[in-house]
Amino acid sequence: MQYLFFTKRRGAALLGVVLVSLIVLGIFAAVAFNIAMNTMRVERWQREHFEEQQMHYLARSAVLAVGAELSNDVRPSDTAAIDKTGSLNVSDSDRGMAASLDFAVSADKDSNIVLIQVTAYNPSSALSNDTKAVVKGMYSKSLGKVTAWNEGSGK
């Protein structure tokens, strides 16, 4: 140190101090950048979570719509087995949303319960291609409404 400050190469000391300052500043900048990157990672997770939630809402409301339709079409006295499938594509060009809904309605012969299953997924998801919401509803023929739920993720 003494060599740096009291010889004719005093500028070297100054440059040394500046370099050390720069390293310290670099560490601070790296910490700040790391915080920003983590924030972005959390945001991405949040986006994926919301897309999954979006599919859940769609699937849940689709189960309710099928249940409401069954209350018109299926009577408690109907004893035949039920086995129906269908699909629906929904989209909102304004927000770039597209989802596919797969329906499956089934009931055993003489059963009071009709199982409604709707699987909702976004086939063109930019976040994760395998995010699926699977919602099952138990429709009671005697009560004429969906009485039990089971929600899951097909991820």
Partner 1 sequence: MMRRRGTLFVECLIAILIFLIGVIALASSLAYSLRAIVQSREAIASDLVVSNQTETDSMRLALSPDQALSATKVGNTMTVTLNGVNSDSGNISFSCNLYGYKADNKYKTAFYLLGRK
Which residues of the shown chain bind partner 1 in the complex (CB under 8 A)? Answer: 8, 10-11, 14-15, 17-18, 21-22, 25-26, 28-29, 32-33, 35-36, 39-40, 42-43, 46-47, 50, 53-54, 57-58, 60-62, 64-70, 73, 80-86, 88, 90-92, 94-97, 99, 101, 103, 105, 145-146
* Number of Cβ within a 10 Å radius of residue 77: 7
> Residue 113 Cβ, how far from partner 1 at the closest point, in Å?
16
Nearest to 87 by CA among 60, 117, 113: 117
Q: Residue 105 and residue 110: Cα distance in Å, rounded?
A: 15
Nearer to partner 1, 18 or 143 (CB): 18
> Residue 69 Cβ, how far from partner 1 at the closest point, in Å?
4
Q: Residue 147 and residue 26: Cα distance in Å, rounded?
A: 60
> Residue 153 Cβ, how far from partner 1 at the closest point, in Å?
16
User: Do residues 114 and 74 make contact, with C-beta atoms less than 8 angstroms apart?
Assistant: yes
Nearest to 113 by CA among 133, 93, 139, 132: 139
> Residue 106 Cβ, how far from partner 1 at the closest point, in Å?
9
